[in-house]
């Protein structure tokens, strides 16, 4: 009745409702996004096409259904329901957190933890301060900080993420439970894989509770991934037992597998990556895991590999679904040696020279493991220009893929490529609302060079989510 009255006065209620932003904390996405579904994005610039040419992208059932040259004479259609006028901005595939910690974000900014500040900057100090902080975690606290990280990430263009939630005798399953609540809360705006993650040892002395909690978490249907940090065990034999146990649990309950692995720059330490691969082969992972992926994060010890060791690693991986995620913002801060050497996986080389699946990720935001930076994956791609010393257009495009399509592939999500092919998911980020025309970004290269400049709009499966 109200709609009919307004229509008689020239007002389309559905169109007006689509402009309203509802409160998001704790609400289901259907409450405010039902009228934001797009059928077309009009007048965009696209990667890998001439920057002075505009295009229209048609969307059907959440996927790209057509890409056509934009005709200025059809500009009036941009006012139609379901059509977004991109005003000649650049559109590219959406971003992905391949590796981010949801439960311990923003600890350095939150007044509740104001007394837990960095004094040394060491890994041991970060573990100690974070352990103290975990003793204060509450459900409200975990939801508040985690919600903030997800909201900020979506605003940056993130539509997919793998979020680590720690389980141990201090927090038990509190972090995991909060992360699963947030996964459900943000369904439709961001696909969140929750990883039940053992940051502490499982088999060293006094760790029996951690082991039993991991077994309990593995049985939970809503948990997508199992992960651990074998390097925190007290000796190599226990590290291998950690790998074997978590691998078999993931296989039994059909979970993705994610190890924080080989986190050192010590040539004398045996790389555990070889044991991971042997374990995957012995358990016949490819045959029995029903398409689940294996992801290895950090792996700074591997940055010391020779070309022959990398070629051997590629041979040993074979057809196993294994990917690596480099985490340069954390690695360069945490890796401390007597010679002040730093190290992080040379991700572009892994991809280009050895054909190994790889991506880069943010890891931590605002805590003692990574005090600097934000939850913008593009900031890590931009850092990569210097870290990997490649400022070419090809290099910038590859770094963008490493926080977009390659990041999604690394953790098992369906991805949208920079080529934007028909049938791919309509998962996009549109860059720039600049008032100065010459500052409008026209290529992915420009975006990676200056990641912090452009404002963004995020589209998930054809729905405008930010």
* Alpha-carbon gap, residue 414 to 230, rounded angstroms: 29
Supply the CATH number for residue 53's domain.
2.30.40.10
Do 200 and 168 fall within a single domain?
yes
Same domain, 83 and 105: no
> What pLDDT is stored for residue 10 in this prediction?
44
pLDDT band at 451 (very low <50, low <70, confident <90, very high): confident
> Per-residue pLDDT for 178 more than 60?
yes
For the segment 35-64, the average pLDDT, to the nearest whole number, is 92
Does residue 350 sit in helix, strand or coil?
helix
- Would you place residue 283 in the very low, low, confident or very high pLDDT band (cuts 50, 70, 90)? very high
What helix, strand, coil percent values describe the chain, rounded to 5? 40, 20, 40
Q: Are residues 203 and 130 in the same domain?
A: yes
The pLDDT value given to residue 441: 79
d(C-alpha 247, C-alpha 402), whole Å = 25
Q: Is 453 helix (H, G, I), strand (E, B) or coil?
A: coil
| Banded model confidence at residue 74, pLDDT cuts 50, 70, 90 | low
> Is the pLDDT confidence value at 358 over 60?
yes
Answer whether 407's CB lies under 8 Å from 98's CB. Answer: yes
Q: What average pLDDT does this structure show over 441-458?
A: 88
Asked if residue 226 lies in contact with residue 246, where contact means CB atoms within 8 angstroms, the answer is yes
Give strand pairing partners of 195. 164, 225
48 conformational bin, left if phi > 0, alpha if psi -120 to 50, beta if neither: left
88 and 106 co-located in one domain: no
Q: What is the mean pLDDT of residues 256-268?
A: 95
pLDDT in tens, 218-232: 999 999 999 999 999
Question: Is 238 a residue whose pLDDT tops 70?
Answer: yes
Segment among 98-102, 181-185, 286-290, 429-433 with least mean pLDDT: 429-433
pLDDT digits (tens, 9 = 90+) for 87-109: 899 999 999 999 999 999 999 99
Rounded average pLDDT over 111-140: 91
Q: Which whole number is the average pLDDT over 279-296?
A: 97
Mark whether 424 and 275 lie in a shared domain.
no
Residues 243 and 132 in one domain: yes
Confidence of residue 205 (pLDDT cuts 50, 70, 90): confident
Of the listed ranges 141-150, 272-281, 341-350, the least confidently predicted one is 341-350
Better-scored residue on pLDDT, 200 or 206: 200
Q: Nearest CA to 326 among 353, 349, 306?
A: 349
Q: What angle do CA 342, 348, 350 make, to 5 degrees?
A: 90
Name the region of 42 (left: φ>0; alpha: ψ -120 to 50; beta: rest): beta
Question: Residue 359 pairs with which residues in a beta bridge?
Answer: 325
Query: Is there a single domain that holds both residue 75 and residue 103?
Result: no
Share of the chain above pLDDT 90, in %: 78
> How confident is the model at residue 89, as a pLDDT?
92
Tell me, yes or no, whether 73 and 123 share the same domain.
no
Of 19-33, 249-263, 397-411, give the lowest mean pLDDT range. 19-33
pLDDT tier at 78 (50, 70, 90 boundaries)?
low
Domain of residue 238, residue span? 95-411
Is pLDDT of 348 > 70? yes
Residue 12 lies in a domain: no
Over 60: is that where the pLDDT of 204 sits? Answer: yes
Average confidence score pLDDT of the chain: 89
- Whether 335 contacts 299, CB under 8 Å: no
Is residue 334 within a helix (H) or strand (E), and if so which, with residue range? helix 328-334
Q: Is the pLDDT of residue 432 over 90?
A: no
Is 16 domain-assigned?
no
Split into its structural domains, the chain has a count of 2
Rounded Cα–Cα distance for residues 430 and 311 (Å): 38
Same domain, 131 and 209: yes
pLDDT above 80: residue 279: yes
Same domain flag for 444 and 383: no
């Amino acid at each position: 009745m109200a709609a009919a009255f307004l229509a008689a006065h020239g007002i389309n209620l559905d169109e007006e409702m689509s402009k309203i932003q509802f409160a998001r904390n704790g609400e289901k996405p259907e409450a405010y996004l039902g009228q934001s579904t797009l059928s077309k994005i009009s007048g965009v610039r696209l990667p890998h096409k001439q920057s002075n040419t505009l295009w229209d992208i048609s969307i059907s059932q959440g996927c790209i259904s057509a890409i056509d040259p934009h005709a200025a004479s059809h500009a009036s259609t941009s006012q139609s329901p379901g059509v977004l006028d991109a005003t000649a901005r650049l559109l590219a595939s959406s971003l992905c957190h391949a590796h981010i910690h949801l439960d311990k974000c923003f600890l350095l900014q939150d007044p509740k933890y104001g007394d837990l500040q960095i004094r040394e900057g060491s890994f041991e100090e970060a573990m100690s301060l974070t352990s103290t902080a975990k003793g204060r975690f509450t459900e409200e606290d975990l939801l508040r900080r985690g919600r903030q990280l997800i909201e900020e990430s979506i605003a940056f263009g993130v539509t997919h993420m793998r979020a680590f939630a720690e389980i141990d005798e201090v927090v038990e399953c509190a972090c995991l439970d909060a992360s699963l609540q947030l996964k459900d809360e943000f369904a439709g705006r961001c696909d969140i894989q929750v990883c039940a993650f053992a940051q502490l040892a499982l088999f060293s002395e006094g760790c029996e509770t951690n082991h039993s909690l991991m077994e309990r978490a593995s049985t939970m249907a809503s948990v997508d991934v199992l992960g651990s940090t074998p390097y925190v065990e007290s000796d190599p034999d226990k590290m291998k037992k950690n790998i074997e146990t978590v691998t078999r649990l993931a296989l039994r309950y059909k979970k993705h597998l994610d190890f924080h692995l080989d986190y050192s720059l010590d040539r004398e330490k045996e790389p555990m990556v070889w044991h991971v691969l042997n374990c995957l082969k012995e358990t016949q992972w490819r045959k029995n895991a029903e398409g689940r992926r294996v992801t290895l994060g950090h792996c700074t010890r591997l940055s010391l590999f020779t070309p022959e060791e990398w070629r051997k690693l590629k041979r040993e991986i074979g057809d196993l679904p294994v990917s690596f995620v480099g985490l340069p913002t954390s690695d360069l801060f945490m890796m401390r040696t007597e010679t002040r050497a730093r190290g992080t996986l040379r991700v572009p080389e892994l991809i280009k020279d050895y054909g190994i699946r790889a991506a880069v990720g943010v890891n931590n935001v605002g805590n003692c493991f990574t005090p600097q930076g934000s939850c913008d994956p593009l900031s890590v791609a931009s850092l990569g220009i210097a870290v990997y010393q490649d400022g070419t257009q090809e290099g910038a495009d590859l770094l963008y893929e490493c926080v977009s399509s390659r990041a999604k592939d690394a953790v098992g999500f369906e991805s949208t490529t920079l080529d934007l092919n028909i049938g791919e998911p309509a998962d996009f980020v549109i860059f720039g609302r600049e008032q100065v025309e010459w500052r409008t970004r026209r290529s992915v290269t420009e975006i990676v060079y200056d990641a912090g400049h452009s404002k963004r709009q995020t589209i998930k499966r054809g729905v405008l989510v930010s």
